[in-house]
Structures are given as C-alpha cells and as structure tokens.
Amino acid sequence: MARRSRNSIRKNNYRGNSHRGKKGHGIWIVGFLITAVGVWTYAQFLSPLLEDSPQASSASDTKLAQADTNKRTSVPKLTSVRPEISDGGAGRHVTEKGAKPESQALPENQPQRSDEDLSKARKLFAVGMDASREGDLVAARGHLTDAVNLGLSRDQLIEARAELTRIGNETIFGPAIIEGDPFVSRYTIQSGDSLGKVATKYSVTDDFLATINGIANKNRIRMGQNIKVVHGPFHARIDPTTFSMDIYLKDTLVRHYKVGLGEHGSTPSGKWRVGEKLENPTYHPPRGGKLILADDPENPLGERWIQLEGIAGDAVGQESYGIHGTIEPDSIGRNKSMGCVRMHNEDVAEVFTYLARKKSIVDILED
C-alpha cells in the first residue's frame, strides 16, 4: 500500500514537471515572436520618422559631406607631362627633338581672336593654298602669311607654316628667281665690290648670299658676275608659349624653328637688335667659374653666338643675352637656360646666316 502511494506521487510529480516544461517553452516562443514584430515595426514606421528629425538629418548631412570630401580627394592631381614645367604650366606645347614644322603640335592656349579675324584667316588660308597649287608662289606666300598673323586653327597653322617653308625654299633660299617676286633681284658685281659690301647694301649677310648663290669662297667673286640678292632684312619672332621662332623676311613668314628659353621666366620679353655675331665663341660663365674655350666639347654655347641688344619692353638696356647653340639638345622646347635663347646647333647655324648685325630685330613675345 505504501509502495503504491509513493508510485502515485512520482507519477504526479512527473506530470507536473512535464506540464511546466511545455508551458516555459511556449512562453519563449511567444517572446521571440513579439520581439521580431517589434523590430519589423520599428524598421517600417519609426525609423523613417526618426531620421527626418533635425538631429538625424544633421548626422546624415555630415556623412554625405564626408563622402563628398573623400570623393574629391580621391581624384588624382593633374600634372604636366613636361618635366620642366610645374603643375600650373599646362597648355604649354613641347615637341620631340628634330620634329618638323608640319608634325609639331600646338598648345591649346592660342591667343583669342575675333570671329571676324578667324573667318578672314580661313579664307586667306584657302586662297593661299589654292594659289600655291596653281604655282603662284608669290601670291600664296602673302596670303598664307596674312592668315597666320590673323590666327588659324591648330591644324591649319601647322599646314600653313609647312607650306610657307616650302615656298621659301623655292623663292628665297635657293638660286631661282620667281618673276614678280619683290624680295629678290639680280645684281652684277662691280669693280671694287665685295660680297660683304653687297650684303650690307641689301641688309643681309655675306654668308647668306654665298649660300644661295653656291659661292664656295665668299672672298672670291669676280667683276661682272651675276648673283641673286634678297632684299632684307630678316627678323625673328619668338613665342615663349610654344617655344617657337618664326623667321620673317620683312613681314613675310619664311622659316620656323624650335627654341629653348630661360628657367623661371628669365628670358626678358621685348624687342632686341642683333649685335655681335661670333663663330666658335669662348664661354664666359655669367655666375663665375673658369672660361670654356672655343671648340671645347663642354662649351654650352655650341658653335654660334648672336648677341641681342635690348631696345624696347623689358629688354631695354640688356646686352648680356643672346641666341646660341647647345650641347644639351633635350633642353630645346624647355625652360632650361639662364635666360638666353637656345637652338639646335644645325638650326642656329642657319639663323646665323639670316640675321644681319644692327639690321635684324628679334621680338620676344610676352609669356
């Protein structure tokens, strides 16, 4: 009897514990569901309301501002590909050594021209190119020069310069004389003449007259000899923005070269008159140091020196600048000199024969 009572108690306890376990499990499930519903309700209804509050909006604006800042600072800084020009020097044009005029690119920052000038320049360019194709080189030369001076597009300017160089080779820099060309004529050597005397009369150099007439020794001419003379003088115009030198015969463009200029803007702008001209010059370092003699391979002037005498603009009173060759050909098209105008040695040798002492003018434009 006692045993059955104890067994009944155990069964009753088991049933009670089982019932309490099932009840606790149910409570946990209900709690989980309530929590889930609460999170969903917040996400759907309460969160948007809270985000529209001033405090939430301020936090959001801060994050957006930070994101915008990060975006800006992640953009790489644009720098010049030209090692001699600082980041602010973009627009400036650099070509490879030995590049021909027709292959040279031009910078984007060309001078602003009026629509009228640009329209007139395009018409003159077309007329000039047509005249050249028809063989009227004198007319073509004038039209194309006017077009260049008024302002052409990049491609047209390259083409015009190339065509003017070609025309110059036929009309000015060779022995031929084109009928009706006002820049050239025949001259008969008189008794007592020298090539230097004739050259002075026509404001050119004796080296130039010897070259175009095929005279091997300029000190040996004969009376009665007929030669071609060019009515000078030649002038040069240097544009620092393109590192270019245009050679003009009076007011007509006939040649184009690349130059190097002074670092940190040390080449003064203004008008210069050609002074002393030297072949194989001795180099006197302007900042001190030993002399470097002529023909020394370390002579930075190369084999030609053309002194420039300042007569207008920032150049006034300056006499220590010049145009010369270089032993650093990679410096052409760069601001690398102490202020002088550098050229490839073969180019300055040509310009040396064009520019006449005390007659030719070199105009260095403002940067």
Which tens digit of pLDDT belongs to each residue from 281-318?
999 887 778 899 988 999 999 999 999 999 999 999 99
Distance (Å, whole) CA 161 – CA 355: 20
- Residue 32 belongs to some domain of the structure: no
pLDDT given at position 343: 98
What pLDDT is stored for residue 339 in this prediction? 94
Instruction: Give the model's pLDDT for residue 290.
Output: 86
Q: Are residues 170 and 198 in the same domain?
A: no
Asked if residue 206 has pLDDT above 50, the reply is yes
Residues with Cβ within 8 Å of residue 120, at least 6 apart in sequence = 150
- The residue among 24 and 146 whose pLDDT is bigger is 146
The token pair that represents 40 in the structure block: 């969903």
The total number of structural domains in the chain stands at 3
For residues 235 and 363, is the Cβ–Cβ distance under 8 A? yes
Residue 51 lies in a domain: no
Task: Indicate whether 144 and 262 sit together in one domain.
Answer: no
Question: Residue 234: pLDDT above 50?
Answer: yes
Neighbours of 92 (CB within 10 A): 20
Report the CATH number that the domain containing residue 216 is assigned in CATH. Answer: 3.10.350.10
Q: 41-45, 142-146, 152-156: which range is least confident on average?
A: 41-45
31-35, 261-265, 334-338: least confident range: 31-35
296 falls within a domain: yes
- Percent of the chain that is helix, strand, coil (3-state, to 5): 45, 20, 40
Catalytic status, residue 340:
yes
How far is residue 350's CA from residue 367's CA, in Å, rounded to a whole number? 25
The reported pLDDT for the residue numbered 54 is 36
Q: Is residue 79 part of a domain?
A: no
The DSSP string of 60-111 is HHHHHHHHHHHHHHTSPPP--S-TTS-GGGBTB----TT--GGG----S-PP
In whole numbers, what is the pLDDT of the chain averaged over residues? Answer: 79
pLDDT over 80 (residue 81)? no
Mean pLDDT on 197-202: 98
Q: Are residues 221 and 116 in the same domain?
A: no
Query: What integer is the mean pLDDT of 235-264?
Result: 96
Residue 65 lies in a domain: no
Range of the domain at 127: 92-177
Task: Identify the H or E element spanning 38.
Answer: helix 2-41
Tokens of 106: 């031009």
Confidence of residue 113 (pLDDT cuts 50, 70, 90): confident
Q: Report residue 181's pLDDT band, with 50, 70 and 90 as the boundaries.
A: very high
Q: Has 264 been annotated as catalytic?
A: no
Are residues 224 and 319 both part of a single domain? no
Catalytic residue among 143, 256, 340, 344, which?
340
Average pLDDT over residues 187-195: 97
Q: Is residue 55 in some structural domain?
A: no
**What confidence score (pLDDT) does residue 287 get?**
75
Provide the pLDDT confidence category of residue 185 given band limits of 50, 70 and 90. very high
